[in-house]
Structures are given as C-alpha cells and as structure tokens.
Amino acid sequence: MPFIAALDYGERHIGVAISDASGTIASPLTTLPHKNWAQDILAISNSLAPYPVSLVVIGEPLNTDGSAGPQTLITRAFGQQLEKSGFSVAYCDERYSSIQAAETLRSLGCRPENIKRRIDQTAAAIILQRYLDGAG
C-alpha cells in the first residue's frame, strides 16, 4: 500500500513525516534545511525515495482566524512546484502544530537542544496525523 508523506515547510527548515503502510499512523522522518525550491524538492525526493509515496500533505500556515496570509501563499506556490515535479499534493491546516510538537517533545523528556532539532519533523507528523484522522 502506498505511503503518505507530510511537510512542515518553513523559512529555515522543512520537517518531513511519513505514514505507516496502512495509512493510519504518522511518524517523524527527518528535518531538511531549506535552501531553494529546486534543492528542497531534490532533498525531499531523496528522503522519500525508499517509500512508494502516493501523496504529500503540506502544512498550510493559516492565520489564527483561518485566513490565508503571505506565508500561506508562499507555501502554496511551493506546493505547485512540488506537483510539477510529479508529486500529488494536498494541504492540511498546520495551526499550532509547532506548539503541540514542542509540548509533545517536552513531555517525552527531550532536552531543549533536542526539541529544537526535532520540532519540525514532529510538527510534520502532527500535520500528517491530522490529515490521516480526517481533520485536515
């Protein structure tokens, strides 16, 4: 069965998460440095190469009132580039995913330096789990 991936696309880092083969459980995969769209897409493709990915869910950074802001438009433009490279793309509301990721990592006993290193991939897993649960 194909896997579903998710991205927490940010100005400095891109968190990547992957589902299990049944499409029910999301797990953090990696955090990539953001460079430029071409290099980002290549790095994402390489990270996802071991998995038969059918869909990439991108966290959509909406404003607290649910409206689209400047970062939403940038993220959607990146999603269009990802689609041009052959990926199927969907979007999922990412509001508060980084806060939830930090809280989750703290509750697991992660030290602050490890939280900073793992927050983006954990946020991507939260975004993906929302999507898998039908809340996207």
Domain ranges of the chain: 3-132
pLDDT in tens, 94-122: 999 999 999 999 999 999 888 888 999 99
What is 3-132's CATH number?
3.30.420.140
Residue 120, CA atoms < 13 Å, CB-side half-sphere: 18
User: In the 8-state DSSP scheme, what is residue 110?
Assistant: -
- Cα separation values, 68 from 29, 62, 82, 89, Å: 27, 5, 20, 18
pLDDT in tens, 3-52: 999 999 999 999 999 999 999 999 999 999 999 999 999 999 999 999 99
